[in-house]
Every structure is written in structure tokens, then in C-alpha cells.
Chain A
Amino acid sequence: MTQIIIQGMLLSGLYALIAIGFTLIFSVGRVLNLAYGAYLMIGGYVYFYISQQLGLPKGIGLILAAAVGCLAGLLKYRFIAKPLKGNHVAIEIATLILAIVIQSAIILVFGESTKILHSLVPGIVRLEGVTAPWSNILATGLSWVLIIAVFIFVRQSHTGRAMLAVSQDPKGAAICGINGEWINMVTWGISGLLGGVAGVFFASYTQLSPFMWVGPLIVTVAIVIVGGIGSIIGTLIVAHIIGFLEVIVVSYIAPELRGIFTMLLIILFLIFRPRGLFGREELA
């Protein structure tokens, strides 16, 4: 049981961070950014290049991963989401294609083979026979710090409240003088930033690969659909449901079925509760 709790908490924290950025964009921009997984890949590879290939301090690698993720988000908004505004299907197709292009670029520069990131911090801790690297604990802890920061930002800051307003009623927000385009751009930038950082944590927890964007994207879609699109709280809760579900399936049922239950969950919710557990389309 201790193993399930520790491994479930570590994995779920990462999933929650990954999913928050995705849910922000859907709530404010009303589009599924299928290139979201590519933010993770970009963040992970930037960190790898800076801290492992150039040998610069890990903190600089993390900051640059966040910055490049943010920049990628802003560029995606400017050159894809904004010109295709209103055509959600076109945005989804374009972002999916972009993810594949980024994957090919990564292969060209770094090759196809898996790379392993050095631990963020060295050492392990053993608790009742369960081992957890300090690096994973730190990654999960920092994920929570970021999640809470996003939550406070959305609820307390002027820009955050403007994001809430745009997500609830874009036209009403515009009438009140909120610049919807600016808010959208900020949201895409924050989403990219969160994705870039999540990529470093996720790659540090698992590994870096040009194909690493697919798995987290599926998990993210599952979390957002089951949680209820637009619900930050729902996202956090369902990230934990899915994280724990995966660990329990591996430990007690059959490891090869790990991802199947997540898929089944998506189908079940789409059929029986399309609004999700905490369903609403605006940010909350």
C-alpha cells in the first residue's frame, strides 16, 4: 500500500502539471492544442542541451526550458491559432502536424535514441521498502508549487481574472474592455511555459525521446475529458485518479494493460458523462 501511495503521488503530481497547461488553452481559446505534448519535448531537450551537453547549471537549463516553451506557445498562437481563429478543426489538425514536424526536427538534431537526464538532485529515500529518488520527489514538489501558483494567478491577479472572464464569455469580456487577443496570447505563453517545465520533470522522471510527446498528450486528453474541460480542480483530481489507476494496474492487474484503462475511461466518459466529473467549459 505504501508503494501505491508513494508512486501514485509522484506520478499524479507530474500528470497534474502536464494537464493544467492544456486545460488553460482549451478554456480560454476553446481549442485542443494537440501540439501540447511537443512543449514537453522541447522543454526536455532544451534542458538536456543546456545542462548536459553544454554542462551549464541545471537551474539555467530549467529556466531556459521554461522560456523556450513559453516562446513556442507564443509563436504557435501568433502563427497558427490566431490566423485560424474560429476554425477549431483546422487548429487541431495544424497543431498535430506541428508536433510531428517538431518530432522530426528533434530526430534530425539529437537523433532517434532515448536519452536519460541526470537526476535533478542525487540520492534516494527508502520508506517501508519503497524507493523514491529525491529527484522525483523534488519534481513532484515543484509541480505542486507551479500548480498552486497558476491557481492563485488565475484567481487573484488582474490578468488571471481577465482569463476567467474570457473563458466564461469572450464577447462579454470584450464589451468590458478586456483585450481577448492579448489574453489568449498570455494563456498560450503560460501553457507553453508550464509544458516546458513539465517536460523537464517528466523526462527526468522517465526519459527523453523524440516520441515522448504522444503518451503525455493521451494522458492529458484523458484527464481533461474525465475531469471536465476547463476545471482546474477537476484536472487535479482526475490527474490523481489516472496516476493511481496506472500504478494499481501495473502492481495488481497486468503491467501491459497500463494505458488501456486510461483509454477506456475516456470512452466511458465520452458516452455516459461527456461533461466530465466537474464539467464546464469555462475556467474554474
Chain B
Amino acid sequence: MTIKSWLKPVVSGVAISAISMASLAAEPIKVGFIGSMSSDSGLSGLRAAEIAIDEINNTGGVNGQQVELVTADTREDPTEGIKAYEFLAESAEVDFIVSSSIDDVSLAWMPRFLEYQIPTLDTWASYVGIIDMVKDDPEGMKNYFMNVASDEALATLYINFGADVLKAKMGFESVVILAEDTAFGEAITGLVTEALAPVAGIEVKEVIKYDITTNDFAPLFSKAEQSGADFIYQISTVNAAGLSAQYVKLQVPLAMTGVNVAALGHEYWTDTGGAGAGISTLSPIPAVGLDLDPVSAEFVATYQSRYTSRPVMPHFNGFNVYHGLKQALAAAGEVGGFGDGWSAAMEKQDLKLMKDGELWLRYGWWQHDEIEPVTGRTYPHNIRFDLSEPFDDGAPSMVVVQWHEDGKPYVVYPEKYANGEFVLPSWVPAK
């Protein structure tokens, strides 16, 4: 064998490898973002994805591969959501999907996820039924993750707020539930109705369901008053600003708390024309009004220097997209892509964000066999939340935020995260 004949295959092999490497380096990782492009929460997620991807690309990408973002608009409509997911899977052929879809939309595209098996991260939808699907079908759902606490966990901690603040501090004995007629409204109504009385000792006097097209809430508030309850528990994701503004304009003489999606954003005060005082809502974290850890604060600073239109602050799902997308790409970097090993690598991702020496936020996961001690059940692939003080294993599943009459939001529960007091609006008599 001459040197020439020996060198020939080596040179050819190196050349082929070089070409393969070059083509691999040229092939970007495609990340699909699915959400409503005209809603504040959708925009929060989209912008967070843009920031996270730019930061990763600026530091060399994932194993030398650049990351490219493809978007698909759901318009907060389940049918559009299915089309959007199909577009990302079939036309754009993305490697990974990050979603800021609302519950109904995520449920709509879920069969497509099961079909295509594209690794997907939900950052807004919190329906515990999806986590139950992971529990029941770990293989089929292995590529699905949800980094917002499931609604059951949200409701569980809210019940503690009911016991600690509404009952013990405010002296409320009974509640009337004012819930929109949606799947989310139904689910939260069920959880609250079942747990408030036995756990917090608060009697549910009446459940008033209303159509989401309702725009005149005066008769509903009259009905709530007539129920004789001490406070109103609202569940409102659609038209929530209208509901709270009419509560203020009519000066309904009952306290109102619960879930009000409009109050989750910084624009709430201007959207309600200042008629938003006294409204409190449970919020996944990081919530509006919450003090931030340095890492999340830096993300907000980048966000605000880059985007000047609304939403001026990312909603909670924006933080979830930012941290979650980086985790997903880090896991892909560890195992060489979004193939078979990605799910196991994603399960090991664990980001602990500290503030003043304490655990403040945590982006980790409940594992398949781990039992959450308060609820006594498992939450595989759900963000690792904590349901009891001192919240040293994870962040609480939710905080309660209240908008005060000075036009600012304050976290009023739990105590570790609180920066304000739960107060009654000035027109509501103390019990």
C-alpha cells in the first residue's frame, strides 16, 4: 500500500465528515411557538421565546446549531389551535414546541401532540387532566411537560388562603361563587366547592354560572348579594376586566376574590380605566406585583429595553417560556437533539432561582413516582411546586395578588412572598 492509496480513504472520510458537520451546523434547530399573537399572554410568551433564542444563539447556539423560531397563531380558538399545531408539525417541521395556549386550546391540539410526538412544553395551560394523562400514559406523553402548576395545585393553595386570610383574618363564613360557563370555570368551581367548606370552613351558599358573552353584570351582582354570602369568589378568564370594573362602578358591598385573568397583567389598571381597585386574584407565579429574583429581573430588563408596546411586563407564562425553553434546549444539547433521550434529560433539568439567600423560584419537575405530600398524589412532568410554608422545596403553586386603590398590585399571600396586606375596598363594610 502506497502512502497515496492509504491517504485516499482517510482524506475522503475527513471530507465527508467535514461536509456532514458543515451541513449539520447549517441546519438550525426549529422551535415552534404556539399561542395567541394578539393577546397579552401570547405576546408575553412569544417575546420571551425571542429573547431566550437570541441569548442562546449569541453564545454559539446548541452544540453549534443555531435556533430558529417559527410561530403559529391560535387566536385563542381551539380549532385554530389544532391548525396551528398541524402547521408547526407538518409544514414547518419543528423540533420542539413551546406553547402559551389557554387550557381549551391545549386540550384541542393534544391529540395532534400524541400523534406527532414532538417534544412540547405548555407554559399557560394548567388543566390537571393533562398531567393525569402523563400519569396514565407515561410512554405516549413522555415528551410533554407543563411548567405552570396544575389547576388542582393552584386551588389547593388557594384553599389555604381561604382558611388563613378570608376565614381567620376577615371573618368570612360563606361565599357565593360567580363563575363563567367554561371548562376552566367548571373545573375551578368543582375544586373550590369541594374543598372550601371542609378545609377552610367556609360555606358555599350558591354557585352562579354566567355566559361568557355577558356584558351587563348588575343582575348577577344583585343575585350574589341576595345569596347572603360574605364574599364573592369569581372565576373569570373571558371578559374579566368588564366584570371587575362593573363590580367597582356598582360598588358591590361584598369583597370579591378568586381568579380574574385580566388582573394578572400590568395593563389591568389602565384597561379598567382605574375601576379595578380591591380585586384580588390567585395567580400562577411569577405574578404581577411579585418581587423578582436577580435572574428573572434581568430577563425583565432585557424585555423592557426591547419591547415598548403592551404588555409592558411579561405575564407569568413569559417567564415560563424564557426559563423553560432554555431548559429544553439545554436538555437537547446534552443528548444531541430532541430524540429518544430528550425526555429523560428534560426531567433532570432543575433551575433554582434564589433571592436574598432563599429559594424563590424553581423550574424543576415532579418525577413519575414522587408523591406530593399535601395532596397525596403524583404530578409527573408538572413544574415542581410547593404547597406549604416555608416553600423551600419549590415556589408556591400560586400567590394571591390584590390591586389596591393606589393603582398598584400587591402580593398578599402567602406570607413569604407577600409585599402588601389583603384589604377590603373602601365601600365594602367590614364584617
Contacts and interface: CB of A to CB of B under 8 A. Distances in A.
Interface of A: 3, 7, 10-11, 52, 107, 111-119, 124, 129-133, 135, 205-207, 209, 212, 215, 246-247, 250-251, 254-259
B252 A250 contact: no
B220 A250 contact: yes
Nearest to A215: B213
Contacts of A124: 249-251
Given A116-B272, A207-B241, A250-B223, A7 B211 contact: no
Interface in B216-230: 216, 218-223, 225
Interface in B20-65: 38-40
Contact of B250 (A131, A206, A251): A131
Contacts of B242: 114, 116, 206-207, 209
29 contacts: A3-B219, A7-B222, A107-B38, A112-B38, A112-B39, A113-B262, A114-B242, A115-B271, A116-B272, A118-B274, A119-B249, A124-B250, A129-B225, A130-B222, A133-B250, A135-B249, A206-B216, A207-B239, A207-B242, A207-B246, A215-B215, A246-B216, A250-B223, A255-B211, A256-B209, A256-B210, A256-B211, A258-B214, A259-B213
Contacts of A117: 273
Contact of B241 (A113, A129, A205, A215): A113
Given A124-B251, A255-B219, 10 more contacts: A11-B216, A113-B262, A114-B271, A116-B271, A117-B273, A250-B210, A254-B209, A256-B209, A256-B210, A259-B211
A30 B221 CA distance: 41
A257 B210 CA distance: 8
A118 B273 CA distance: 6
B223 A255 contact: yes
B266 to A, nearest CB: 12
A113 B267 contact: yes
Contacts of A3: 219, 222
B348 interface: no
A257 B40 CA distance: 30
Contacts of B219: 3, 7, 246-247, 250-251, 255
Nearest to A123: B251
A205 B246 CA distance: 8
B245 A116 contact: yes
B275 A116 contact: yes
Given A107-B38, A112-B38, A133 B249 contact: yes
A135 B251 CA distance: 13
Contacts of B273: 52, 115-118
A115 B215 CA distance: 12
B251 to A, nearest CB: 5
B310 interface: yes
A212 B216 CA distance: 12
B38 A111 contact: yes
A255 B209 CA distance: 6
Interface string B151-178: 0000000000000000000000000000
Contacts of A114: 239-242, 262, 271
Contact of A212 (B211, B215, B240, B271): B215
A255 B38 contact: no
Contacts of B210: 250, 255-256, 258
A113 B239 CA distance: 9
Nearest to B265: A113
Nearest to A48: B273
A131 B239 contact: no
Nearest to B248: A116
B40 A113 contact: yes
B208 A255 contact: yes
Contacts of B215: 206-207, 212, 215
A104 B216 CA distance: 24
Interface string B241-282: 110011001111000000000100001000111110000000
Contacts of B38: 107, 111-112
A205 B274 contact: no
B215 to A, nearest CB: 4
B181 interface: yes
A50 to B, nearest CB: 14
Interface string B307-347: 00010000000000000000000000000000000000000
A51 to B, nearest CB: 10
A175 to B, nearest CB: 47
A280 to B, nearest CB: 31
Nearest to B76: A112
